[in-house]
Amino acid sequence: MDDNELIEKIIAKDHTAFKSLIDQYKDLVLNTCHNLIGNRQDAEDVSQEVFFQVYKKVKHFRGEAKISTWLYRVAVNRSLNFVRDNKRFRWLKSLSSLPEDKGQRAEEVPASDSGRPDVALEEKERNVIVEKAIDSLPGKQRAAFVLHKYEGLSYKEIAKILECTLSSVESLIHRAKSNLQRKLIHHLKEK
């Protein structure tokens, strides 16, 4: 069933079609929320809100973008709202320990193979510093950065999700990298 058929069935209150949508896209939505929020349980709650909002607003889906793009947009907006409203949550993920698999959390990445506690402690400290730096980025910069670096999306896909131009995405990601570099270089000089 293609996107348009699926949407038409959901609009017609076909619960099987909506379950199919959830089954097909739950990992995409959960991973996006998880990468932006940093807490699995909260990400699951926000993911449920995303699908609830999609169900309520399905009549407004124009079909100009793919369903996945629309779901990314809703997930990003809901997650950023959650983070803004709950400042105590910090971003997870370290630039230095990016996992190969999309959606894999930093705490799920295997510990250092060195077996040396001092190396593990340094990695943990570095991760905390990077988390704080990412947490300090403005919302749209965070979203563009995470969607590109952690979700592996192209600039064009991010532009659709954030509803902005391609040059805006390039600028957001460039500024995010510059801000992170500026914030992280300070910590490197201290060592």
The predicted pLDDT at position 44 comes to 95
Host domain of residue 156:
92-191
Q: How far apart are CA 29 and CA 16, in angstroms?
A: 19
Share of the chain above pLDDT 70, in %: 82
Question: What pLDDT sits at residue 21?
Answer: 93
Residues 71 and 98 in one domain: no
Among 47, 62, 89, give the residue marking a domain's end. Answer: 89
Q: What is the 3-state secondary structure (H, E, C) of 22-33?
A: HHHHHHHHHHHH
**In CATH, what number is assigned to the domain containing residue 16?**
1.10.1740.10
The count of structural domains within the chain is: 2
Give the Cα separation of 12 and 97 in Å (integer).
45
Q: The domain spanning residue 186 has which CATH number?
A: 1.10.10.10
Hunting for tokens 């300090």 — which residue is that? 136
Instruction: Quote the tokens at residue 107.
Output: 């705490």
The segments of the chain whose pLDDT lies below 50 read: 88-112
DSSP 102-119: TT--GGGSPPPTT--HHH
pLDDT at 107 (0 to 100): 44
pLDDT at 19: 94
Longest dimension (CA), the chain: 61
pLDDT tens figures, 108-143:
444 445 567 777 777 777 777 877 787 788 888 988
Predicted TM-score (pTM) above 0.85: no
Do 107 and 185 reside in the same domain of the chain? yes
DSSP 90: -
Same domain, 107 and 184: yes
Domain boundary among 62, 89, 116: 89
Specify the pLDDT at position 99: 41
pLDDT score at 189:
62
